[in-house]
Structure 1
């Protein structure tokens, strides 16, 4: 690894430490305590560095949401050798990752803040959270359709169906304070269930019209 690569890796780690500090402050003290000064103190950096990296408080929040959303990914696959097993594995990986994120204290705190400040923060969370996650999975769905594994007309509508099968009422219950248990075993089971239901709806044995 070269000197430049090491420097870039260290920079990435420093930025991630800042974003972790934002999430920790949200969980511990709520949105009112989330000032650039408080984040700088928690992350052991200067306010000038924060402004340089993120622009302003909204930029910092946007980066934080993207950081959380980046943890939700479909499994890797070779689009030139794409089969039913790889599709199932990728969908389960996405579902499990998303459930793990929404069950975390940090995600719950972040989403509660966004709901409470919907006019200002709601758009940030939607653009960098839900919508960004959708754009990450839809290429997988399209590749699966091209490989003859899925049948659908509209990728966005198909993604929304899968998203609903995965989450059901879990997120709203968590946001409202329900002590819903989402441990690794439950998440793995829910990810498998959602994937099986989705494939039953959109598997290539059905025509696009039937799948819709």
Structure 2
């Protein structure tokens, strides 16, 4: 199969997977149901993805592809860490609160096996967070930020950027975020991070 045809077919399969997931939940979703919805063979799905968990890991990975790729490129090219974070914020927040991430999180919350939640964590957060940690370490090494524990700094940044928005989106208490809001929140997250982790330790206290 030619590469462009395979890519188009994968997109159809993955769109079918989201549709079946929304209807049946993760436990009720089967490779056969997805294959039928996508008008593909069950054999094709197993050949390409291995099993249901592999398919949903691929969905999570594809959802995070742009963010992961940008972070990897920035680290490889040695770009300014703070500029990387400025560009990362809107993309990461959009991805984590977007309709596909919400669908996956809602299904994971209702999955009694915990399998989907594990796939989301392993393929999403556990892939992206270490890259953010490297960017923050780079900012520390160049004197832009000051902190002792890179993991704490990473959690601080993610907390400032995301807060409880992901949870509120998943439980239906937060509508889809407006691009202007995403941009402003991302700016504020970086501004607060700079203040709290200022190298000279000068920031306002309550």
Q: TM-score range by the shorter chain?
A: 0.7 to 0.9
Counterpart in the other structure of 1:93: 87
**Contact in 2 for aligned 1:170/1:180 (Cα 8 Å):** no
Q: Return the match for 1:149 from 141, 144, 151.
A: 144
Alpha-carbon separation, structure 1, partners of 2:175 and 2:192: 22
Distance across 2 between alignment mates of 1:80 and 1:98: 20
Indicate yes or no: 2:105 matched with 1:111. yes
1:66 aligns with 2:61: yes
Runs (5+) with no aligned partner, structure 1: 1-5, 208-212
Structure 1 residues 114 and 181, CA, compared in 2 at 3 Å: closer, same or farther? closer
- Structure 2 residue 168 is matched with structure 1 residue 173: yes
Cα distance in 2, alignment partners of residues 22 and 199 from structure 1? 41
Q: Look up the match of 1:128.
A: 123
Tell me how far 1:200 sits from its aligned partner: 1.1
Please, what TM-score do these two structures have when normalized by structure 2? 0.82
- 1:181: Cα distance to partner? 4.7
What SS is found at the alignment partner of 1:70? helix
1:181/1:18 CA distance change after superposition, 3 Å = closer
Secondary structure of the residue that 1:45 maps to in structure 2? Answer: coil
Equivalenced residue count is: 199
Q: Judge which range, 7-16 or 157-166, deviates more.
A: 7-16
Match of 1:23 in 2: 18
Question: Which one of 24, 27, 39 corresponds to residue 44 of structure 1?
Answer: 39
Moved more, 60-69 or 198-207: 198-207
Alignment equivalent of 1:11, drawn from 3, 6, 9: 6
Mapped to 1, the partners of 2:13 and 2:43 lie a distance apart of 13
Q: In structure 1, how many angstroms separate the alpha carbons of the residues matched to 2:58 and 2:75?
A: 30
Can you give the 5+ residue segments of structure 2 that lack an aligned partner in the other structure? none
Displacement after TM superposition at 1:191 (Å): 0.5
> Which residue is 1:55 aligned to?
50
- Normalised TM-score (structure 1): 0.80
Residue equivalent to 1:3: none
How far is the alpha carbon of 1:19 from its aligned partner?
A: 2.3
- Residues 174 and 69 from structure 1, CA distance in 2 versus in 1: closer, same or farther, beyond 3 angstroms? same
